[in-house]
Amino acid sequence: METTNLHHSDPHAPGALPQPTAGSEKLPGIRHIVAVGSGKGGVGKSTLCVNLALALQQLGGRVGLVDADILGPSIPGMLGIPTGQPPAQTPEGRMIPAERHGLKVVSMGMLTGDDNPAVLRGPMVGKYLKMFVGGVQWGLLDYLLLDLPPGTGDTQLTLAQSMPLSGVVIVTTPQDVSLKIARRGLRMFEKVQVPILGIVENMRTFTCPHCGQTTDIFRRGGGERMCRELGVSFLGALPLDADVVTCGDEGRPIVVDQPKSVSSQVYASIAAALAEQLHAAVTVLKPFVWKWDSNEGAPAWMDGAVRPAGSRNTPIGLRRRDPRTLSMLWEDGHRDDFDVRDLRLACHCALCIDEMSGRKLLDPKTVRADVSPRKIVSVGNYAIGFDWNDGHNSGIHSFKDLRALGARAAERSIEDV
């Protein structure tokens, strides 16, 4: 394994103009896919998602909204969309989203109705989720927002592994218990290399409509403090506003119904901060299925996106240097050249490593010398998976592990010298 450093001018340096390209689309026709999540329920995540989508639209964006809480959908009610009326389909079998206030929307509630529960096991939840994103006739979108269920379960992992997310917005309330659980959710997304776009603190201050006195019912400033501790952006703080609840219950989001209200102005500020972050975000590799021998479907090699202060664990290029070598270019300009047999031996799947003890189960003597990939596929924003010509196909190599593997190989090379 060889390691190299490349140095280029920084396209994101102060004063540099952004250069969006068609290659920056996350899915065909969709520029950014943004998840909105929370560690626990009851923090106002869905209300934020609806009003944030409308605020992005008011900034000139083309916006779609997926109610990714398959088992507990709430978006149709907040937008006044009839439930229990399956959407129409295109001749190709793609779902046509509902439209309300200019937003394109898909939700399980449109299929089941308000009173009929969706009783589904985990694999079916993932199937519906993928259909709601990839099986819909979205057209051209600047932003596709995904309203996640609370927690860190199957839905979040399915999204991270199968969707090229631009990032996630975490919603919390100021009290300590909510902040601690939100921190866990944030850490989960970090582990799977989904960028944290920022934190929104909801229900911060209540203003009495009669006397005008303000009260911090759930304390104050916890979201900002957590952002400072974790090094992520604080997107804004929303007040505890009865009109937000009333408008949502009646299917008239406050951003549309009362655009000059204090809450609507805060939503507009959050939308502007989010749009600015997404505009400045580093372009990551598009999803790929790469046939190794023919090089068909090979991902891009974006050496122009190298930044000296860039991420160590974000690849901006993969290349078949020769039949036995996979080259990876990282955002900080470092390059690793991996012998493909070394990658096969480094597999961490349950067939190769005992999950409880960490003991290696794979005997290197059983791996043939000419082993090579048949296919390499992207896994979300955080890993690649291999289909090997010896029949093994259950291993996923995270970018973090690959960077560490390259570092260990470089250390061994120095020791050998």
What is the 3-class SS of 140-186, one letter each residue? CEEEEEEECCCCCCHHHHHHHHHCCCCEEEEEECCCHHHHHHHHHHH
Give the integer Cα–Cα distance in Å for 417 and 174.
55
Structure token digits, residue 87: 């959407």
Q: Which residue has the tokens 């909510």?
A: 178
pLDDT at 113 over 80: no
Give the 3-state secondary structure of residue 415.
helix
Quick check: 166 and 33 in contact, CB under 8 A? yes
More reliable by pLDDT, 163 or 94: 94
* Lowest-confidence segment of 70-79, 98-107, 323-332 by average pLDDT: 70-79
Question: What is the reported pLDDT for 16?
Answer: 32
At 166-181, the pLDDT tens digits run: 889 998 888 777 777 7
Domain ranges for the chain, please list them: 2-9+285-416, 22-280
Give the integer Cα–Cα distance in Å for 389 and 345.
14
pLDDT at 112 over 90: no
Give the integer Cα–Cα distance in Å for 55 and 249.
18
- CA-based angle 42:35:83, to the nearest 5? 65
- Percent helix / strand / coil, the chain, rounded to 5: 30, 25, 45
Question: Domain 22-280 - what CATH class?
Answer: alpha beta
Question: What is the reported pLDDT for 211?
Answer: 67
Quick check: 79 and 100 in contact, CB under 8 A? yes
What's the whole-number average pLDDT of the chain?
Answer: 83
Say which residues have a Cβ less than 8 Å from residue 390's Cβ, sequence separation at least 6.
344, 367, 368, 371
Confidence label for 213 from pLDDT (cuts 50, 70 and 90): low
Q: Which residue has the tokens 């597999």?
A: 347
Name residue 416's amino acid. Answer: D
Quick check: 105 and 64 in contact, CB under 8 A? yes
Average pLDDT on 68-72 reads 79
Give the integer Cα–Cα distance in Å for 188 and 213.
39
pLDDT at 18 over 50: no
| Segment holding 277, helix H or strand E | helix 262-280
* Lowest-confidence segment of 181-185, 199-203, 406-410 by average pLDDT: 181-185
Range among 154-158, 163-167, 364-368 with highest mean pLDDT value: 364-368
Average pLDDT on 321-334 reads 95
Given its phi and psi angles, is residue 89 left (phi above 0), alpha (psi -120 to 50 degrees) or beta?
A: beta
Structure token digits, residue 304: 């122009």
Length of the chain: 417
pLDDT at 10 over 60: no
Question: What is the reported pLDDT for 352?
Answer: 92
Question: Domain 2-9+285-416 - what CATH class?
Answer: alpha beta
Q: Tell me, what DSSP letter sits at residue 335?
A: E
Q: What's the burial of 21, exposed, middle or buried (CB within 10 Å: 0-12/13-18/19+)?
A: exposed
Say which residues have a Cβ less than 8 Å from residue 44's Cβ, sequence separation at least 6.
171, 173, 202, 203, 238
More reliable by pLDDT, 408 or 218: 408
